[in-house]
């Protein structure tokens, strides 16, 4: 009798927990699939692995498999973005090159790629990580090249929810440039986030053990979605693979940060290590979150 009573109480308890979880889930919209993905420029020096013609179909397969709603991308040339629009007609992008150009085929972009039937771009622009942030092509401090942020005000057509989106690619050489770029970002995000939450994607070229990473997550401005996630897939993986099969350096240099203050829920954080017949679409693994906004 005691055993039967125990199981009855356990069953009632489980049903109650499930009901509470269901009620909690009703407070949130269905997840948006947000990715940060350095898809590398058309690098013919490392060829054949890095040559775009040998991996563009792999990129197409990756996007189709995971059905991203928005991709904060880094490094592609305009020629690659043109291919992406042709291969994936359901997607479009916003962004200009790091030099401020819109027609040169072989200049690096930091675009926001989005699903047209799901996402509406309400406003967008670009700023440079330099002391002349509105000057196209300006190089900041000790950076090797111009570095930019593509920012947008975005509306989810399905839910009507509005949010800010920042996509960045910080310099891989200049230590002062990274310091100052982080400072700029931390000063600008709170202004944008006063009314709407903010999502920040990027190849930050700084890992989770660095001083600047700790500066970001202890700022009170941004949180790491990795730490917020209810489920973490490939949590121990780094995000740079250098086209080496099953490469795991353990350091995450590609991040998705979320603003503090307004409520956001991360259902899943996924470092996607999928290969296609032993080949990767890029020298970075994409990072994806399933993000829920409150109703």
Domain ranges for the chain: 35-292
Return the pLDDT at 251: 97
- For every residue of 38-62, DSSP letters joined together read E-----SSSTTTT-GGGTHHHHHHH
CATH number of 35-292: 3.60.10.10
Return the pLDDT at 153: 98
Name the pTM for this structure. Answer: 0.92
Write the pLDDT tens digit of every residue in 51-92. 999 999 999 999 999 999 999 999 999 999 999 999 999 999
Nearest to 287 by CA among 189, 203, 231: 203
Return the pLDDT at 23: 78
**pLDDT exceeds cutoff 90 at 4:** no
Write the pLDDT tens digit of every residue in 82-119. 999 999 999 999 999 999 999 999 999 999 999 999 99
Write the pLDDT tens digit of every residue in 236-295. 999 999 999 999 999 999 999 999 999 999 999 999 999 999 999 999 999 999 999 999
Distance CA 289, CA 37 (A): 12
β-strands 265-271, 112-115: how paired? Answer: unpaired
Write the pLDDT tens digit of every residue in 224-249. 999 999 999 999 999 999 999 999 99
Output the CA angle 266-185-258, nearest 5 degrees: 5
Mean pLDDT of 1-26: 63
Whole-number mean pLDDT of the chain?
94
């Amino acid at each position: 009798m005691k055993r039967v009573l125990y199981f009855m109480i356990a069953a009632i308890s489980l049903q109650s927990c499930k009901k509470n979880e269901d009620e909690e889930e009703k407070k949130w919209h269905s997840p948006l699939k947000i990715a940060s993905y350095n898809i590398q420029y058309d690098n013919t020096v490392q060829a054949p692995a890095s040559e775009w013609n040998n991996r563009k179909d792999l990129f197409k397969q990756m996007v189709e498999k995971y059905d991203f709603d928005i991709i904060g991308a880094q490094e592609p040339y305009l020629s690659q973005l043109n291919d992406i629009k042709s291969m994936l007609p359901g997607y479009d992008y916003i962004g200009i090159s790091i030099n401020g150009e819109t027609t040169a085929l072989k200049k690096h972009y930091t675009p926001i790629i989005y699903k047209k039937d799901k996402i509406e771009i309400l406003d967008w622009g670009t700023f440079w990580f330099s002391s002349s942030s509105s000057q196209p092509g300006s190089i900041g401090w000790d950076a090797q090249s111009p570095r930019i942020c593509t920012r947008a005000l975005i509306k989810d057509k399905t839910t009507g929810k509005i949010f800010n989106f920042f996509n960045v690619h910080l310099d891989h050489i200049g230590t002062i440039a990274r310091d100052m770029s982080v400072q700029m970002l931390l000063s600008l995000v709170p202004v944008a986030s006063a009314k709407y939450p903010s999502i920040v994607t990027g190849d930050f070229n700084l890992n989770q053990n660095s001083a600047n990473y700790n500066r970001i997550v202890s700022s009170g401005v941004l949180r790491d979605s990795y730490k917020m996630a209810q489920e973490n897939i490939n949590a121990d993986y780094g995000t740079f693979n250098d086209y080496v099969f099953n490469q795991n350096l353990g350091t995450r240099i590609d991040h998705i940060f979320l603003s503090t203050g307004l409520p956001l829920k991360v259902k899943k954080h996924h470092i996607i290590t999928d290969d296609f017949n032993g080949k990767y679409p890029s020298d970075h693994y994409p990072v994806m979150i399933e993000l829920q906004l409150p109703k």
